[in-house]
Amino acid sequence: MTLGSRLRLATVWLSGCSGCHMSLLDLDEWLFVLADLAEIVYSPVASDCKIYPPQVDVCLVEGAVANRDNLELALQLRACTTVVIALGDCAALGNVTALRNLCGAGVQQSAGEALDCAYRHLSDGEGRVPTDPILLPRVLPLHRVIAVDGVIPGCPPTAAAIRAALETLLQR
């Protein structure tokens, strides 16, 4: 961030339930303070921007890396961001999203086994397995894919924890 400029802040939603972003919205009136101090340049809750922009100062990332779209976005945001923060336990550890890793007999089989279970064995419909987005063989926490600079733990993290982290980053 250059002197005198507002922090360029992004938030990204990979494979998660959106609960971490709901906690972000629980900041309530402090969001007005944040809006004065930071420019939200990419976010599912505060921006219409569809393409991850360059020169982002801080990115909060919700969710684990579960499919190729997640993987591409994770690599892109890392290349364009100074500080990447894993927001919540799915991004940090895999957590709920990674439960599908328990499917299947082998470590490389969880995607196929999970899709078969959900769309064929347990389905009362036509049992057609979706092909988009393409699932990775296993769900990965963010740090297994890109370098992560910090973690805000919790499922979801509390609004107070998110605010404390942002206040620290805004003072840099």
Number of residues that make up the chain: 172
Asked whether 27 and 163 are in contact (CB, 8 A), the reply is: yes
Among the listed residues 94, 104, 141, 156, the single contact to ligand SF4 using CB under 6 A: 156
**Nearest-angstrom CA–CA distance, 155 and 51:** 27
And the tokens for 42? 């990419």
- From the CB of residue 156, how many other CB atoms can be counted at a distance below 10 Å? 24
Helices 30-37 & 159-170 angle (0-180, nearest 10): 20
User: Of the listed pieces 16-24, 36-44, 67-75, 164-172, which binds ligand SF4 according to CB under 6 A?
Assistant: 16-24
Residue whose CB is less far from ligand SF4, 104 or 156 = 156
The mark string for 87-126 relative to ligand SF4 (x by CB under 6 A, - otherwise) is -xxx----xx------------------------------
The answer to whether residue 63 forms part of the interface with ligand SF4 (CB under 6 A) is yes
Summarize as ranges the residues that interact with ligand SF4 (CB under 6 A): 16-17, 19-20, 62-63, 88-90, 95-96, 155-156
